[in-house]
């Protein structure tokens, strides 16, 4: 199994506000990225567990929400590992936007 892709995104929102924003963020991201679809999204306390599909490949992971950072961990199938650097940059960029803009 491949090593997971891990992205840590600092924020100053507090856990509850960060979770509120993230609860709509994955679905919104999927609608703005045509090749991405969300197969599963569920919350267990402050952890979102998800499964997404891109280019016919499934990836699974989770998002842990802390008081001052969000940690995204996703395991990419071998075909999508070639795009890991781009995926990491996209996760960081969209996460920063979601967790820093006024809302």
Q: Report how far residue 48's alpha carbon sits from residue 30's, in angstroms, rounded to the nearest whole number.
A: 15
Q: Report how far residue 93's alpha carbon sits from residue 41's, in angstroms, rounded to the nearest whole number.
A: 20
In the chain, where the domains are located: 5-98
Let me know if domain 5-98 sits in CATH 2.30.30: no
pTM exceeds 0.85, yes or no: no
Dihedral pair phi/psi, residue 11, rounded to 5°: -150, 170
Q: Report how far residue 18's alpha carbon sits from residue 74's, in angstroms, rounded to the nearest whole number.
A: 19
**What pLDDT digit, counting tens, does each position of 26-79 carry?**
767 667 777 778 899 999 999 999 998 877 888 899 999 999 999 999 988 876
């Amino acid at each position: 199994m491949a090593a997971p892709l891990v992205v840590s995104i600092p924020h100053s929102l507090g856990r509850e506000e960060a979770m509120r924003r993230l609860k709509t963020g994955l679905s919104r991201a999927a609608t703005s990225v045509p090749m991405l679809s969300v197969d599963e999204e569920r919350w267990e306390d402050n952890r979102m567990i998800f499964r997404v599909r891109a280019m016919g490949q499934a990836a699974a992971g989770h998002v842990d929400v802390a008081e001052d950072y969000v940690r995204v961990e996703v395991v990419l199938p071998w075909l999508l590992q070639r795009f890991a650097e781009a995926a990491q940059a996209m996760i960081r960029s969209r996460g920063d936007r979601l967790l820093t803009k006024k809302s």
